[in-house]
Structure 1
Amino acid sequence: MTPGLAFFYGGMVRVKSALSMLMMSFVSLGVVSVLWVLYGFSLTFDDDLGGGLLGGFGYVGLRGVGPESLLTGGGIPIFAFALFQLMFAVITPALMSGALADRAKFSGWVLFIVLWVTFVYFPVAHWVWQADGWLFKLDVIDFAGGTAVHINAGIGALAAVLVVGKRIGFTKEPMRPHSLPLVMLGAGLLWFGWFGFNAGSALAANGTAAIMALNTQVATGAAMIGWLAYERFRQGAFTTLGAASGAVSGLVAITPAGAHVNAFGAMLIGVVAGVLCSMAVGLKFRLGYDDSLDVVGVHLVGGLVGTLLVGVLATGGRGSLGQLGRQAIGAFSVMAFSFVVSWVLAKLVDLTVGLRASEDDETSGVDLAFHAETAYDFGEPAGTPALWHTGPVTGPGGITTVVPNHRRTEVRP
């Protein structure tokens, strides 16, 4: 799912930011994997330190865990569970990256990931999924990540956007996706991977996994239809970007709810999410915040739709106004905590190493500025490959050309 997200976001940005967008997702695979083993799994799934707020330090470095170690009462190897939950931790900060497209400083983004998963994701995941977490004990329904992943990432992205500010030229110049085929490819990979994300949260091949898988499919289809219908009504066209975004909104919304509703409930959640998320993406222009790739409109709003609607649509006697109230407590407590802490962390990073690229780097393109590469090279005649160097060099009998920011020197024969 994380490489799928990278393609989804990467196709939506302008060409000068495509590699940066891919890297902002991809680097999370490296950073969060290391932190998860060092202390993340322990802070999330060890016994509570008190108050249902954070796990302990019994699993630091996965010490004491062997190949035969099983989850208490579950019969599942701890290593398997730790690996599965790691992927949730990896993709959650990656989801936020789309909000900062075109203007984030890569080193600042990496530091922000380190701080954000430590002080926001690990505690919130403990609240929701560990048996002694306070939202778990409150009986808030979140089967696979509506609060811990999507609401958490969506509101955290909004906080970071308010710190970083708007892109140069926001609302004044076109910022169209450079590759809609990449967007569709990424959406397809996400849709496919989401079956593991959702159905896998049953931690077994059973009826719960089966209904979650079915509901994932039908909710996503209904959301895509809802988004496209609203788009046709408002804009007069059915766009590929709308189809991809609508599908993702359905995937988001069914994530907390799918194991607790029937197929009709799943379709209702999906179509509501598709319409409301399509409406919500325009809020950034009315309210004046620059969420580049609509993380707030899709993940925050979609997460809220699924988290709240399961309160009244849940089967087995769980749907009630009381359950809706508990769902609201879970959703809005995560929003409040994540927004405040995310804003503080983004501000801290911006004041130290910097979270916003310089004006020159943003104008010339963050791909060249931070990665010394471009996504596509159409300028090479056949048989005359460019030689890239790290400093000003003139080849024998050749001419030296320096690309913007003097990051690389191209020597042509």
Structure 2
Amino acid sequence: MVVVMIPGLGFLYSGLARRKSALSMIWVCMMSISIITFQWYFWGYSLAFSAQATNGFIGDLKHFGLMYTLAAPSPGSPLIPELLYAFYQMQFCATTAAITAGAVAERGRVLPWCVFCFCWATIVYCPIACWAWNINGWGFKYGVLDYAGGGPVEIGSGMSALAYSLALGRRQEKMMANFRPHNVSLIVLGTVFLWFGWLGFNGGSAFGANLRAVQACWNSNLTAMFGAITWVLLDWRLARKWSMVGWCSGAISGLVAATPASGYCTAWGSVILGVVTGIVCNYATKIKYWIKIDDTMDVFAEHGIAGMLGLLANAFFGAAYVIGLDGVNSGIITGGWIDHNWRQLYVQIAYILAATGWAFCVSYALAMGINYIPGLKLRASDEAELLGMDDDQLGEFAYDYVEVRRDYLAWTPAKAEPTGDANIPQHERHGVGQHSDMLVGKAPSSDQSSNGMEHTGIGGDRHGMAVEEKEKVKH
């Protein structure tokens, strides 16, 4: 279920981009899972979850190449084997990389992104995952409540995408006039794929078919739907129109906020979280204009900010009885303020600040370092941006069968009335002469001639009837 989220992100980003860069967005998302599968097998799982490392920051290479990773109880739950846990967590890392890939939209080259993706998973994602979920991670020992990835997945992707966008630079201003998503149907399709996959993302993080998984799915839907309703209403108040893109944006923001919270929070707390997320993330889409960073797909607003809100919600609405619904953690983990655990708020804030700072600073340094490597310049040329990333980077096109030409700005609008004689005989307008010859000299049907009306058929003159024949029909 989780792996379906990656093509879902591709469709979402493709629909949000312009047509000339639509396929490149699907490509970078799908390539992300290829790179992460290798990275996770090679050393990613070991760096994130090796229980032998005790530094609290990052794992060792004990499980390099999935060595010693078979039937032993997993770090996530004693009820599932470690090999299954490693495969499941690989999908989390791949999804996070695909979310971050939204930063390359419409002006980023794909080869530098591939290099960045492997290095980013190693030095950004794996450390944050170790903090939160490794049994020796400092966040795990500190008491951080992060159910399915508010830190590694959501803050990691949101801040990394912001950093990569900063390193890339803004798109050309002259290309931004009247910018709109090119295919809203693809946006909806991608959102539905994400929604389905997110039930595996959040529900599956209970590591069993238990009540906690069901509660997590309920909480995910509640947060998503209240986020969608809130976002749509906020957009309606400005335009007095109902926005499909607004619904998708609100639903995704709600699902993001539910990621760290759905396995901890009560149902009524999830409703509150959905409304707050819809409001905050809607306004957070304006931040990129204030800080002048072209976060094309609003990854920072809809993932980074929403992930922070979900983590904070655990401090207020986390409940021990929800955590214990899996039959494993009953009485082991305490909730937040509902259980009078007042310290949970500053624990969550400390974790948010650490994940935010690490993800942004390391990602920016990594992106700038790659940019200086010969042949790995992050950004395509101005001419390539004008042409489109599909043509420049892939040589394939999402909608090639309807293209006439791609240099749209080269079209010259008419500046005067057309000159010359426009009265071309209709039968000469056909591209194939035989088509006109089939109709010249043909008499109209009896029912049309009997009612005294001019013979027009389908399009009248487009049948190519000679002038003298039409005169006969009239008389």
Distance 1:15 1:379 in 2: 11
| Larger radius of gyration between Structure 1 and Structure 2 | 2
Which of 362, 383, 391 is residue 360 of structure 1 equivalent to?
383
User: Deviation digits for residues 141-188 of structure 1, max 9, x if unmatched?
Assistant: 100011110011111111111111001127851221110000000001
The equivalent of 1:348 in structure 2 is 369
Q: Is the 8 A contact 2:155 2:307 kept in 1?
A: yes
2:353 corresponds to which letter in structure 1?
A: F
Please provide the CA RMSD for this pair: 1.8
The equivalent of 2:202 in structure 1 is 198
The equivalent of 2:74 in structure 1 is 71
| Segment drifting more, 325-334 vs 349-358 | 349-358
Q: Is the 8 A contact 1:13 1:175 kept in 2?
A: no
Aligned length: 383
The equivalent of 2:268 in structure 1 is 264
The equivalent of 1:336 in structure 2 is 357
The equivalent of 1:82 in structure 2 is 86
Distance 1:267 1:170 in 2: 42
2:167 corresponds to which letter in structure 1?
A: V
User: Deviation digits for residues 115-147 of structure 1, max 9, x if unmatched?
Assistant: 100110011101111111001111111000111
Structure 1-normalised TM-score? 0.89
Q: Offset of 1:100 from its aligned partner? A: 2.6
The equivalent of 1:408 in structure 2 is none
Task: Indicate whether 1:9 and 2:13 are aligned.
Answer: yes
Q: Is the 8 A contact 2:265 2:313 kept in 1?
A: no
The equivalent of 1:388 in structure 2 is none
The equivalent of 1:318 in structure 2 is 335
Distance 1:61 1:172 in 2: 46
Distance 1:322 1:266 in 2: 21
Distance 2:273 2:400 in 1: 43
Q: Is the 8 A contact 1:48 1:133 kept in 2?
A: no
2:370 corresponds to which letter in structure 1?
A: V
Once the two structures are superposed, the pairs formed by residues 387-406 of structure 1 within 5 Å of their partners are none
Distance 1:170 1:190 in 2: 33
Q: Is the 8 A contact 1:43 1:126 kept in 2?
A: yes
Q: Is the 8 A contact 2:17 2:105 kept in 1?
A: yes
The equivalent of 2:136 in structure 1 is 132
Distance 1:335 1:324 in 2: 16
The equivalent of 1:225 in structure 2 is 229
Q: Offset of 1:50 from its aligned partner? A: 3.6
Return closer, same or farther for 1:333/1:238 CA change in 2, 3 Å cut-off: same
Return closer, same or farther for 1:323/1:174 CA change in 2, 3 Å cut-off: same
Structure 2-normalised TM-score? 0.78
The equivalent of 1:378 in structure 2 is 401
Distance 1:11 1:140 in 2: 36
Q: Offset of 1:49 from its aligned partner? A: 2.9
Distance 1:170 1:137 in 2: 51
Structure 1 residue runs without a partner (length 5+): 382-401, 405-413
Q: Is the 8 A contact 2:159 2:304 kept in 1?
A: yes
Task: Indicate whether 1:164 and 2:165 are aligned.
Answer: no
Q: Is the 8 A contact 1:151 1:300 kept in 2?
A: yes
Return closer, same or farther for 1:192/1:379 CA change in 2, 3 Å cut-off: closer
Please state whether the residue corresponding to 2:173 is helix, strand or coil: coil
Which of 162, 167, 182 is residue 186 of structure 2 equivalent to?
182
Distance 2:151 2:36 in 1: 19
Please state whether the residue corresponding to 1:355 is helix, strand or coil: coil
Q: Is the 8 A contact 1:100 1:291 kept in 2?
A: no
The equivalent of 1:394 in structure 2 is none
Distance 2:55 2:43 in 1: 19
The equivalent of 1:302 in structure 2 is 306
User: Deviation digits for residues 326-352 of structure 1, max 9, x if unmatched?
Assistant: 110111100111111001001011111
User: Deviation digits for residues 201-228 of structure 1, max 9, x if unmatched?
Assistant: 0111111111101101111110001111
Q: Offset of 1:237 from its aligned partner? A: 2.1
Q: Is the 8 A contact 2:219 2:262 kept in 1?
A: yes
Return closer, same or farther for 1:283/1:170 CA change in 2, 3 Å cut-off: farther
Please state whether the residue corresponding to 1:331 is helix, strand or coil: helix
Q: Offset of 1:37 from its aligned partner? A: 0.5
Return closer, same or farther for 1:248/1:347 CA change in 2, 3 Å cut-off: same
Please state whether the residue corresponding to 1:147 is helix, strand or coil: helix
| Segment drifting more, 134-143 vs 225-234 | 225-234
Task: Indicate whether 1:31 and 2:54 are aligned.
Answer: no
Distance 1:50 1:159 in 2: 30
The equivalent of 1:327 in structure 2 is 348
Return closer, same or farther for 1:88/1:178 CA change in 2, 3 Å cut-off: same
Distance 2:285 2:242 in 1: 16
Return closer, same or farther for 1:187/1:138 CA change in 2, 3 Å cut-off: same
Distance 1:337 1:206 in 2: 35
Distance 1:379 1:60 in 2: 48
Taking only the aligned residue pairs, the percentage that are identical comes to 36
Distance 2:395 2:35 in 1: 21
Please state whether the residue corresponding to 1:174 is helix, strand or coil: coil
| Segment drifting more, 169-178 vs 42-51 | 169-178
Q: Is the 8 A contact 1:160 1:346 kept in 2?
A: yes
Q: Is the 8 A contact 1:97 1:157 kept in 2?
A: yes
Distance 1:223 1:126 in 2: 30
Task: Indicate whether 1:21 and 2:44 are aligned.
Answer: no
Please state whether the residue corresponding to 1:373 is helix, strand or coil: coil
Q: Is the 8 A contact 2:288 2:294 kept in 1?
A: yes
Q: Offset of 1:307 from its aligned partner? A: 0.8
The equivalent of 1:275 in structure 2 is 279
Distance 2:8 2:276 in 1: 24
Distance 2:319 2:403 in 1: 61
The equivalent of 1:96 in structure 2 is 100
Distance 1:170 1:144 in 2: 41
Distance 2:284 2:393 in 1: 32
Q: Is the 8 A contact 1:18 1:375 kept in 2?
A: yes
